[in-house]
């Protein structure tokens, strides 16, 4: 199926691994002109080569000026950005009573304000181009809070509200905005050393493999998602095939959250 993304300039934030990298690969395979971003120069260059992206821009999206700089540079080098995927984010487990104000602010800046700033930078060019598509990567924890990740859950819920707000504000300009809510996914965030599986194992007293098996079994489909499965939903929402979809929050969670919205 042709998604109608050929030659569209697409910026994917947080795309040196996991869902972001899988999304960049898929968009590039569809003929889009993809921009990958990340903080680590070596990983960023590897992601550019791996994905087939045309441009790789080093950026720390927790810094207020980074989103506008990335969107501006992408436009200068490739043309108007008409697709934006806000994927960058931070997650780790913690006890609610032990999360300091500094940590709440850290999560807010990266998980929410980076999206706000990137959208703010993208909208004028999308308006001028007659439309565009924005996809924000939220989480099942945004729909049903995870008690083990309080600041992550609250910020991911804010991403859902932001997505609906932007959809309502700019639909008349032909700009669509949707959110995707993945469940646990087989990425470095879960599987990497010191990642969520190791953190949960340390908190529960279980071994890492038992944790992963339990988390997978907790989904109705009985397993973690693969990043490519989430990327497929994102690419569809970016595409002309989803031209009548805006303001939606699409669950891609193997049935994890037992609601129909």
The one-character DSSP state at 97 is G
Q: Which two tokens stand for residue 68?
A: 């506008």
* 119/89 Cα distance (integer angstroms): 15
Please check whether residue 181 is in contact with residue 139, taking contact to mean a CB–CB distance below 8 angstroms.
yes
3-state secondary structure of 137: strand
Long-range contacts of 218-221 (CB under 8 A, 24+ apart): 218/256, 219/183, 219/184, 219/253, 219/254, 219/255, 219/256, 220/254, 220/255, 220/256, 221/254, 221/255
Residue 183 to residue 224: CA distance in whole angstroms: 8
Active site (catalytic) residues? 152
Helix, strand or coil for residue 11? strand
Beta sheet of 81-86, edge-to-edge order? 55-58, 33-38, 9-12, 81-86, 132-137, 175-182, 249-252
Longest CA pairwise span in the chain (Å): 55
């Amino acid at each position: 199926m042709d998604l109608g993304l050929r030659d569209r300039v697409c910026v994917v934030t947080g795309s040196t691994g996991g869902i972001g990298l899988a999304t960049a690969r898929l968009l590039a395979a569809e003929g889009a002109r993809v921009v990958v971003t990340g903080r680590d120069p070596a990983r960023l260059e590897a992601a550019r080569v791996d994905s087939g992206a045309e441009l790789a821009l080093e950026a720390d999206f927790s810094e207020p000026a980074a989103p506008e700089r990335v969107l501006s540079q992408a436009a200068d080098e490739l043309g108007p950005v008409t697709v934006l995927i806000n994927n960058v984010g931070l997650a780790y487990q913690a006890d609610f009573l032990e999360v300091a104000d500094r940590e709440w602010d850290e999560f807010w800046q990266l998980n929410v304000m980076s999206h706000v700033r990137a959208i703010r930078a993208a909208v004028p060019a999308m308006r001028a181009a007659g439309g565009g598509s924005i996809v924000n990567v939220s989480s099942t924890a945004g729909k049903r809070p995870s008690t083990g990740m309080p600041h992550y859950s609250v910020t991911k819920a804010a991403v859902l509200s932001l997505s609906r707000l932007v959809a309502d504000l700019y639909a008349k300009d032909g700009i669509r905005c949707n959110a995707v809510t993945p469940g646990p996914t087989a990425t470095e965030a879960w599987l990497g050393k010191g990642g969520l599986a190791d953190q949960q194992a340390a908190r529960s007293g279980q071994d890492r493999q038992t944790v992963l098996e339990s988390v997978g079994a907790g989904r109705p489909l009985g397993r973690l998602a693969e990043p490519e499965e989430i990327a497929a939903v994102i690419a569809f929402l970016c595409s002309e095939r989803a031209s009548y979809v805006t303001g939606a929050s699409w669950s891609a969670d193997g049935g994890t959250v037992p609601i129909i919205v």
